[in-house]
Amino acid sequence: MKTAFVPILFLFSSLAAAADVQPVELHQKLSLPAGSTDKVVALTLDACGGGFDADLVDFLIEHRIQATIFATRRWIRRNPDALATLKAHADLFDIEDHGANHIPAIIGADRNVYGLAGAADLKQLKREVSGGADAVKAATGTAPRWYRGATGEYDPEAIKAIEAMGYKLAGFSVNADSGATLEKKKIVGRLKKVRSGDIIIAHLNKPASDTGKGMAEGLQLLLDRGFRFVTLRDAQVVPVGGR
Ligand SMILES: [Zn+2]
């Protein structure tokens, strides 16, 4: 009796585990030397799909602000002129992988995050990651080393799979524009709270949103406070509680 019972228990426990899987948001900061008084932050900008916020990028160029751009294959194909602008300033902008088609790193097409359906299975997730990476490599000549999944939410299983493909996962500590949905005042308010080591996330694909204006005002305040900006290219990050 005992031997027949054990597999049934295993079955129940694994079903329960699958039903309980909740995606996680990765919160990270830059790893700074202990006691460092350096005022340094990383700005990351997602290019999910859609267009190009030229005003925001012009502001970054004018003020020599470095940023890590997470671009999808879809965005790269739709925005050749924007890509040319970013590539013309390769000293400022590091282009990394945001997937092929902006499919979140959660497993199950019947599950969704912020209205976006997950990958059907691990195979599709891997195609999403490698398809985005191939597009970045073809567009820039440099293979990406960082991945940020659509919505920034991940199943633990997806995290393992993406890391096993050799990518570092990019989280954040300050969500500046909540997917380009916030009004200018709120964006500025969030950037006012930035501290050294923060990793900021915002978007450069929604020129009609308040993101460009809010970021310009908020980033100017950070420059005035003496902050400098680094890309994730050579950065070390550590997990933290988000805010
Ligand atoms: Zn995105």
pLDDT tens figures, 218-233:
999 999 999 999 999 9
Token readout for 4 is: 């027949």
Using the mean position of ligand 1's atoms as its centre, give its distance from the Cα of residue 200 in Å. 14
Centre of ligand 1 to C-alpha 47, Å, is 6
pLDDT for 19: 53
pLDDT, tens digit (0-9, with 9 covering 90-100), for 49-96 = 999 999 999 999 999 999 999 999 999 999 999 999 999 999 999 999
What pLDDT does residue 20 have? 64
User: If you measure from the C-alpha of residue 148 to the centroid of ligand 1, how many angstroms do you get, rounded to a whole number?
Assistant: 8
pTM: 0.91
Domains along the chain with CATH numbers: 38-235 (3.20.20.370)
Position 18 scores a pLDDT of 52
CA angle, 22 as apex, 19 and 27 as ends, to 5°? 165
How far is Cα 222 from Cα 144, in angstroms, rounded to an integer? 28
Residues contacting 1, CB < 8 A, separation 6+: none
Q: What is the pLDDT of residue 94?
A: 98
C-alpha to C-alpha distances, 103 to 150, 153, 229, nearest whole angstrom: 6, 11, 29
Which tokens hold the place of 82? Answer: 């924007």
Residue 235 CA to ligand 1 centre (angstroms): 21
Ligand 1 centre from 12 Cα, in Å?
Answer: 36
Ligand 1: distance of its center to the CA of 193 in Å? Answer: 23
Which residue numbers in the chain have pLDDT < 70? 1-20, 242-243
* pLDDT for the residue numbered 163: 98
Q: What is the Cα–Cα distance from 51 to 65, expressed in whole angstroms?
A: 21
